[in-house]
């Protein structure tokens, strides 16, 4: 049985580095970038 997450919120110091990691490691496309304060990624294949 699979689990689908709708959203994960992480509090980090280096937002750009973490965003880049998730995009490269898992192929998540960037949906929204809030100027270094936060970012939103879509699941693979989903378009925001």
Q: What is the pLDDT of residues 14-45, one digit of tens each?
A: 888 988 898 899 888 888 888 778 778 887 65
For residue 31, what are the contacts with CB-CB under 8 A and spacing of at least 6?
A: 40, 41, 42, 48
pLDDT at 22: 85
Of the two residues 26 and 48, the one the predictor is more confident about is 26
Residue 8 has pLDDT above 80, yes or no: no
Buried b (16+ CB within 10 A) or exposed e, 32-46: eeeeeeebebeeeee
Residue 2 has pLDDT above 70, yes or no: yes
- On whether the pTM is more than 0.85, the answer is no
Cα radius of gyration rounded to whole Å, the chain: 11
């Amino acid at each position: 049985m699979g689990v689908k997450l709708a959203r994960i919120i992480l509090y980090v110091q280096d937002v750009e580095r973490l965003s880049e990691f998730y995009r490269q490691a898992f192929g998540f496309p960037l949906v929204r970038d809030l100027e270094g304060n936060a970012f939103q990624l879509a699941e693979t294949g989903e378009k925001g």
